[in-house]
Amino acid sequence: VFIKIILLDKRTEILEIATRLFAERGYENTPLSLICESAGVSKGLISHHFKSKDGLLREIFNQTTQLIIKINSKPEIELPPHKHLEKVLKSFFAQLEKDRMLLQFNLNMIAQPSTRAILLDLIQERSIFILDNTISIFDRIDPKNSLILSHMFIAELDGIALSYLGVYKDFPLKKIKSHIIKKYTKR
């Protein structure tokens, strides 16, 4: 019975496998046939559940957004802002080290014009949430400059992800981590 339940949830399986393949190979370079083969399902099933390849991509992106929103909506206001930043940074670097896949996926989809067009509204929604969330932290540190500081904070993390995942083989991730944590938690 237990096995049956797991095997039956083909919809979830498609989502997970497609996320990985899109991250590894890019959206346009991942044929649906490969997803189907990897997931052990038929081509028709993707149409049935997600309508189209674009629909599948949007579903994946949106699920991740909902997860991000859920995680960051926990009331951690009690934490002092520098502690809060430290927590955000640590979770970012942890993901970079252990689960490159999801960050790679996001980077791909946002940098690529064709996928950006498909996800336009969803990217807006997510990025605005992230900006607002970051601003709410910096508001408690330096309210006058919180917008600029937040944008810089986000840009730094994105840039680190790009350098680490896509450019520099020998990127000194650990040292960068210490450096940036020290920078944002001192005082």
The one-letter amino acid at 29: N
Choose among a second copy, DNA, none what residue 176 binds, the Cβ cut-off being 5 to 8 Å by kind: a second copy
Among the listed residues 53, 84, 126, 177, the single contact to DNA using CB under 7 A:
53
Does residue 49 bind DNA (CB under 7 A)? yes
Does residue 47 bind DNA (CB under 7 A)? yes
Among the listed residues 42, 73, 91, 163, the single contact to DNA using CB under 7 A:
42
Does residue 43 bind DNA (CB under 7 A)? yes
CA 68 to chain CA mean position, Å: 8
User: What's the token pair of residue 100?
Assistant: 């490159």
In angstroms, the CA 98 to CA 154 distance is 20
Give how far Cα 127 sits from Cα of 75, 92, 99, Å.
20, 16, 20
A 10 A CB-CB count for 158 gives: 15
Stretch that binds a second copy, among 9-17, 69-77, 93-101, 107-115 (CB under 8 A): 107-115
Using alpha carbons only, how large is the chain's radius of gyration in Å?
19
- HSE-CB for 113 with a 13 A CA cutoff: 0
Contact code string over 6-25 relative to DNA, x by CB under 7 A: -xx-xx--------------
Nearest CB to DNA, comparing residues 52 and 124: 52
Does residue 10 bind a second copy (CB under 8 A)? no
Q: What 3-state DSSP class applies to 1?
A: coil
Choose among DNA, a second copy, none what residue 169 binds, the Cβ cut-off being 5 to 8 Å by kind: a second copy
Nearest CB to a second copy, comparing residues 143 and 159: 159
In angstroms, the CA 71 to CA 62 distance is 14
Min CB(11)–DNA separation in Å:
5
Choose among DNA, a second copy, none what residue 33 binds, the Cβ cut-off being 5 to 8 Å by kind: DNA
